[in-house]
Structure formats: structure tokens, C-alpha cells
Chain A
Amino acid sequence: MQPFEYAAPASVDEALALLARHGADAKVLAGGQSLVPLLNYRLARPRFVVDVNDLPLDEIRVDAGRVRLGALVRHSTLAASAVVARECPLLTEAAALIGNVRVRSLGTVGGSLAHADPAAELPLAMVALDARFELRSARGSRTVEVRDFFSGYLTTVLRPDELLTSVDAPPTRGAGTAVEEFSRRPGDFALVAVAAIVTIDRQGRVENARVAIGGIDGVPRRIPAVENALRGEPPATDRIARAAELARAEVTPQSDALASGEYRTLLAGVLTKRALARAVSRAMAVPA
């Protein structure tokens, strides 16, 4: 690791002042589960590290009809939260799938979203949920919709002097939700991951379906073709299977050291089918 200066401010304003002063020379340190490996390999060489772990940003609450997570909520806390399990179980499931137990002890919601790994579970869940991000800097604050937040492989619209302070999403009560992923070894990043949110109407037809996929492109994204194919249809197994097949036509993943593009395409279909099947059966189990 290259030497750097270190500060652990106690207030958000102090943190923002430090980021304003040091700009692109500074790095925010949250759980460190992505940043410290980069420092160990000297892939990141900041002159200044702003440790944000003392900031009061670790609250989970429901307010104005949205589930709001402070940026410093740990993956383990998210996975264990009763409020989140009730209001937004997709996040519970997503958090439990992240890395290993040590990664979940320290890794944070804000860190995962800011790091923006294309196969990461929380960015995927936020895309499926239509989440909103709260960004703050010494210049002021802004709200960014999830579709505008991720801008490419490991990149977001966060500016060097900005801190992601919280993220909020609408609860999914009444819907069935599921995440499916495949990784070669437990604890690895997924090769491909799919999140699904389904609501069923009184006639027993699919009222709405939202399907997001990660590990394919630089950023996780929705698959509208699959969503549209299901809307208004009875969620029979063969229809789910046919809709999931459309996912394969909608993706053109690259090959890399971990898997061929062809294999990822195959996974896109299989995982979409599994995620939809599970989301549908949960939606059917919701009391009317």
C-alpha cells in the first residue's frame, strides 16, 4: 500500500469539507471491502483517505412511504433487518448473497453502490426497485434516480467531492420478489444475477413484472421485453419459461476469463426463469 493521510471526521459536514478540499486526491473509505484490496494492489493510490465510518449514516427507516437506507448500513445489518424483510424482502435476499461473512460484517450499502460492480447484488436490486439516491457535497445535495446513477463499468455519476448519503426505494408489499444468481464458488461475485418483482391482479394475471439483470453489461439493467411479455398474462409455468427465453435474445455479453458470452447468455435465460417462478409463487401467496 502507498502511504496516505487519513482522517475520520465525526460529522457529514466535516467529511464534505475534506472532500471539497482534496477532490480527486481523496478517497472515501466505508467498509473497505472493495477499496482496501485496491489499495493493497496499489490499483488505487489516494493521497488522502476520508474514513466515513463515524458518520451517523447507518439508519434504516420507513418514511414517506419509502424504505430508506443510510449509506453506512452494513450488508449483515441489511440482511438481518426485520423492517427490510417485511417491506422490501428483495434487499434481504440480495444482501445475504453478498460475498462471505467477513465481507458482510463490514461492507456497506453505500460502498457497494458507489463501487458499482456490474455483477453486484445491491446495484441490481436497486435497478429492479427503481431506487433513488441522495448525494451530498459541500456545494449542496441532489437526488438521482437509479437509471441515471450508474454510468458504466465501475462508474457512477458521483463526483469526487460527493458523498452518497442514503438510498430509498418503494416498499414491495403485495408483490413477490426473488433474486437468482450463479457463481462458480460460494462467496465469489456472481457470473450473472437476476432480480424479479411480480404483482398478480384479482383475476390471477400478472399485473406488473420488473426484471433486472447484472453481470451482462457494464451496469445492471431492466429487461423490458420479458416484463412486457408477462404483463396481463396468467403466470403459468410455460408462459414464464417463454418470457424467460426472451432474456437470452436481449443480452449480448462479452466473454472473459470467468465465463464465455455464450454461457452467460444461457445463464440469463435459466436465472430469469427461476427468479420469475419464485417471485410469482410468492406473489400468489400474498393475502389479497
Chain B
Amino acid sequence: MSKKKATSSLRARNHDDELIELDKEFQQFKLEEFTVEYPSEDAITRTIDAMRPYVTQAAAPRVKYSFLRQLQVMQIQPLFWLANLLFFCMGLLVWYVWEGDPYKIMLLLSPIPFLLGLLEVFRGRNEGLLELEISCKYSAQQLLLMKLIVICAYNILLCLALIGIFGIFGEPLLLSKLIMYWTAPFAVAVSVGLAVASRVRNVLSVPIALVIWLFIAYGFLIGLEHYEQASELPYIAGLATVFVAACIAKQIQRLKKGFAYYEAVH
């Protein structure tokens, strides 16, 4: 132990001697006459800029990602909202002027804004943005469902308004009949729209979904004329609605999970 210390202090002394020698050598070079120029502003900025990438930035804050905040940025064209309002007015007109059956109006008209909304959903694809959109953190599939939900919610809102108006200014609508004529067909239309949209990945999905919808609506109308009197029908329709809605909800659930958190993985 002590021996070690001795050698190390010896080494230190040797080192000091070396330094003194070196100092003498330096003095021969007349170092004191050497001036160091202060770097220019420009050089300083350049150095700082060059260093910047090496300085680790503060980690991105883990933000809880609200669904609503995402909605703010989901840009949906005004035309879409207008077209939907137009259908709303059409329903009113048919009912008021031509005294159409409010139930049949609901059945036929209610899903159309949603199906047209698919156009809105595929807008990005038409304009060649898809490639960029699917390279982002949230995939196009998520974005697609996201927009569909917004469109669907707006659609339901309009329908409820229509039902309200029918009820206030005309005969109050029967819930059991609404289930048969509105919720069940509407849920089917939405799921058809979703199914087509996720398989046919372009604007063609809109006419396809519309045509399929017209056939289904026709089927509903025929079926309802025949079996309207059957007392268990509202229950079957109700069950069907719940079942289809559950399927849709499951897709929505998956989507929400994707949007729930902003995970920083750096």
C-alpha cells in the first residue's frame, strides 16, 4: 500500500518536472506574444447550429389524446354538411307537401347522407394523398373510421330532429314502428357502408353501397308491409339493431384505442 503511494508520488514529481521542462520550451516560442482572436458572431452561430442536433431535446410530453381534439383537425367539406341538410329538408317536404308516410321517409332517406359521406371519406384517396396518410402514425383505416363516425353521428342527429318535427307537428311516432322502420334499417345501412368501404377502397364504394342499400330498403319495405301486424316484429327488429350496433361499436372501440394515447417512443 505505502509502496504504491510512494511510487505514485514519485511519478507525480517526475510529471511535474516534465511540465516545468515543457514550460521552458514553450517560453522559447514566446507564447505570451500570441493573441487568440475572438471568434466572430457568425462563427459562433455556426458552431451552435452545428452542435444543435447533438443536444438531446426534451422528451416529447406524453399527451393524453382526446377524441375531440382529433375531430378539430378532421377536415370535412362544407358541401357535405349542406348536402345532408338538403336531405333533411327533402324529408320534411315529402312529409308536409305530399303527406308521405313519415316511417317510409325515415327508412329510405335516413342512411343516404351517411352513404354519401363515404365520398367525403375517400376524398384523400382521390387526390393522391393516401400514400402519405398511411405512412403516418394513425393509419388510413383509423382515419377512415374516424370520419365515418363523425358523419354517422351527424346523420343520427338530423334523423332525431326529423323525428322530433314529425312528432311535434303531426302524429307522434310510435317507438315500436321507429325501431322497425328506422333504427334497424339504418344500422344495416351503416354496416353495409362500412363493409363496402373497407373492401372497395375507392370512390366506387359509394355507388356500390347506395345500390346495395336501395335493394335492402326495398326488401325492408316489402317485408314490413307483409309482416307489420306480427307483434313480435318490433322485438326482432330491436334485437337486430342491437346486434348490428354492437358490431359497429366494436370497430369504433378499436379505433378509439388507437387514438387514446400519444405514445412517445424515442
A and B are partners in one complex rather than unrelated chains: no
